[in-house]
Amino acid sequence: MYRNYLKIAFRNIIRHKSYTTINVLGLAVGMASSILILLWVQHEKSYDRFHKNADQTYRVIVNASDFIAAVNPAGMPAGLKEAIPQIKNTVRLSHLEQHLFQVNELKFEEKRVFYADPSFLEIFNFALVKGDAKTALDRVDGVLITQNMAKKYFGTENAIGKTLKIDNGSSITVTGVLANIPSKSHLQFDFILPMSAIANISSDLINNTWTSFNFYTYIQLDKSFIPTPAALSKLNADITRVFKQHVPTMKAEYMAQPITSIHLSPAAQIDLPGHGNVQYVNIFFIVAIFILIVACINFMNLATARSARRAKEVGLRKVIGAVRGQLIRQFLAESLLISFFSLILALIIVCLFLPVFNLLADKDLTLHLKDVGILSGIALFTGLLSGIYPALILSGFQPIKVLKGNNNLPGGNLIFRNGLVIVQFVVSIVLLIGTVVVYKQLQYIRNSNLGFDKSNLVYIPINGELSDKTKALQTALEQNPHTANYTIISELPINIISGNMNVMWEGRDPNLQVVIPSMGVSENFTKVFQINVLRGRSFSTAFNDSSNFVINETAVKLMGMTVDNALGKPLSLNGTSGKIIGVIKDFNFKPIQQVIEPLILGLNKYGGYAVVKSQPGSTEATIKALEKINTDLNPSYPFTYSFLDQDLANQYKGEQQMSKIFNLFSILAIFISSLGLYGLSAFLAQQKTKEIGVRKVLGASILNIIYLLTTGFTRLVLIAVVIAIPISILGINRWLETFAYHVHIGWGVFVIAPLTALAIAWMTVGFEILKAAMVNPVISLKRD
């Protein structure tokens, strides 16, 4: 029986090629779009799940006066393991800025380097393709490298036992080669050095300190631990209790963060890069569902548009004995067949466009054979969802009416059918508004006044021999006209991650605990960055400013001062006592998602970065001058440079990717909606054929007919606008709330988007309606 259903369904599909093409295309594009989005969603939600003990592994984070940090003291892991029975194992990680590695003439500066305890490979299941996991990190001069690094430094040779020189100093030996790190890991590295390598030079490790926060701490719990809310709350309390036993004066609350949730959790202070955004994941998941629903609505509209053409077929089948259930199964068979044809085309589209989508999303997504079962389920669901309504309508035709040639067939419930169209318009309008708002926010970010001039700022890291030649570096910079406008800073003022609790000022509440970011700068800082000094002065070689400070407006407010009376007030930072010599205007030194925090500037004593303000048009000359200085003073280190404005742009890479993806799928959703509207216009034109003929005989013009047929669509658009605008406002506000500073959205957006949707609707239905309006009334009245 079912074989017969499929055979008849296949014949009907082949017979009506144009109808089948439109349906298959709409469903295929909808499915392909949903598959691509769901692959991205699945990727984002599956971070760190490849570890064998992922469910038992947690990262310890601390909240000290709303300063949520991902780092902990060196002595904490061992202390926790000793005091809390549920903790089975611990590991510390330390991430430094960069190291120079060398093999013969090959020399590269590498940034993806960690120091780790020997328990690293016991907790994390990164595949070790060569070496012994139990002893790989035991040697103080050992190193684990990835396959990519093995190929980069040693080619096709076996890397085990090979040596590399690190930072132009000691040699280290490769003790293990790891498989390349999966992209779905929040830990991204190329080198793992043993923690013992810095045990004799790190004061934190030497003193097993509990007051200096510099290490990422991971704990592995016993398998008997069940992570209920109550159990996790007790674990957090136990960790906090252990910390306060060692540091009773500090107000801090600890939390155990599942490693599987790190990627989609908001980035903490001093966190590792590469966090995702759970809000974007939820948004795109909803978009995927809506696109699939819109594709199904498109199918329904086209199917009901054809209902009158299939009326006689239904009537004849019922006359010769077909019951309604058989007809429903027959029409569902057609729907399912179209759905699976669409799935095949969708998979072809996905395979063709997945590389492009990966470039767009900056991911490495793949479609696996194991996903075919899930995709077949989606095709089955899509076929049933989109086919059940037309099947019920078609099977409900009365044979007497259709065989008598009655063209005024029901074609489905009018309210339900109009509801489907409204849903399409709502989705289209919401996506259009969302696209405009995302674009405007990105423009706001690009053009917003950060409080300093980010243009033409070139910087180089002060590393290698430059660290000991700061005076020579300053002299060389001053002597070259292309580099004379420079400053030396401890951190880049775009995401300052350091914070200090040891800050004292006159009148401070002794019970107040606050973490204040600080930054070391040289004398030309405010000039190079063009930061406005509101009162007093910046650092100057004309004065002894080694223990003086400059603070921003927010720091002035925190300290209970005013801009006018702050000058000369005493201030102490990390034991260094001095006075406030200047107040600068607030500027954004963290991503724009965060509010401006208090900031203390001190005279730079430790290097960091040399930042040069190049003249417009002389950037290339500035870079060449910096390269010569590096060659003269730091010949053993490769020359590297960066632009501050590019770093700022990279901070909002996630938002830029979201905008591109959102734009793409908004266009596809509108395209699919247009196919559905086309189907509805065909249905409407067919249903009103005789009415149009009569009206034309009675003197109606083509414009009168067009007005008659488009009024209904216009009404549906207006209803959709009323529904879409509140939904858009709610979604937009929730997204913009993630930014401390964001664009103001005027009502223009909520006018332009609906008008655009209306224009798209008119263009879509215009062809069928115009064709129906121009039919000779004699022909239309003679039909059937």
Mind listing the pLDDT tens digit for each residue in 117-130?
999 999 999 999 99
Question: CA–CA separation, 188 vs 713, rounded Å?
Answer: 53
Point out the least confidently predicted range of 43-52, 258-267, 622-631, 701-710.
Answer: 701-710
The helix or strand, by DSSP H or E, that contains position 528, with its residue range, turns out to be helix 525-529
3-class DSSP assignment, residue 66: coil
Pairing of strands 113-116, 191-194: parallel
Question: CA–CA separation, 341 vs 336, rounded Å?
Answer: 9
Cα 634 to the center of its chain, rounded Å: 38
Pairing of strands 518-521, 600-603: parallel
Residue 504 bridge partners (DSSP): 572
Mind listing the pLDDT tens digit for each residue in 301-318?
777 666 656 666 666 665
Mind listing the pLDDT tens digit for each residue in 152-207?
999 999 999 999 999 888 999 999 999 999 999 999 999 999 999 998 888 888 88
Mind listing the pLDDT tens digit for each residue in 509-519?
888 888 889 99
Tokens of 627: 């390269």
Point out the least confidently predicted range of 20-29, 97-106, 523-532.
Answer: 20-29
Q: Read off the DSSP letter of residue 454.
A: -
Question: CA–CA separation, 191 vs 178, rounded Å?
Answer: 9
3-class DSSP assignment, residue 387: helix
Q: Read off the DSSP letter of residue 164.
A: E
Mind listing the pLDDT tens digit for each residue in 225-244?
999 999 999 999 999 999 99
Q: How many DSSP H helices and E strands does the chain contain?
A: 24, 24
Q: What is the pLDDT of residue 13?
A: 60
Q: For residue 476, which phi and psi values (nearest 5 degrees)?
A: -65, -40
The helix or strand, by DSSP H or E, that contains position 101, with its residue range, turns out to be strand 99-103
Q: What is the pLDDT of residue 486?
A: 95
Mind listing the pLDDT tens digit for each residue in 609-654?
999 999 988 999 999 999 999 999 999 889 999 999 999 888 888 8
First vs last Cα of the chain: how many Å apart?
A: 34
Q: For residue 536, which phi and psi values (nearest 5 degrees)?
A: 75, -140
Question: CA–CA separation, 661 vs 368, rounded Å?
Answer: 22
| Amino acid code (one letter) for 492 | L
Q: Report the pLDDT averaged over residues 15-27.
A: 75
Residues 149, 98: contact at Cβ < 8 Å? no
Q: What angle do CA 682, 683, 686 make, to 5 degrees?
A: 85
Residues 195, 149: contact at Cβ < 8 Å? no
Q: Report the pLDDT averaged over residues 330-345.
A: 81
Q: What angle do CA 102, 104, 106 make, to 5 degrees?
A: 55
Residue 460 bridge partners (DSSP): 610
Tokens of 53: 């003990």
Pairing of strands 171-178, 142-146: parallel
Mind listing the pLDDT tens digit for each residue in 431-481?
889 888 888 888 888 788 889 999 999 999 998 889 889 899 999 999 999
Residues 386, 299: contact at Cβ < 8 Å? yes
Question: CA–CA separation, 291 vs 192, rounded Å?
Answer: 44
3-class DSSP assignment, residue 212: coil
- Closest residue by Cα to residue 210 from 239, 243, 241: 243
Question: CA–CA separation, 444 vs 743, rounded Å?
Answer: 6
Q: What is the pLDDT of residue 12?
A: 62
Question: CA–CA separation, 780 vs 784, rounded Å?
Answer: 9
Question: CA–CA separation, 338 vs 25, rounded Å?
Answer: 10
User: HEC profile for 673-712?
Assistant: HHHHHHHHHHHHHHHCHHHHHHHHHCCCCHHHHHHHHHHH
Residue found by looking up tokens 């006689």 in the block: 312
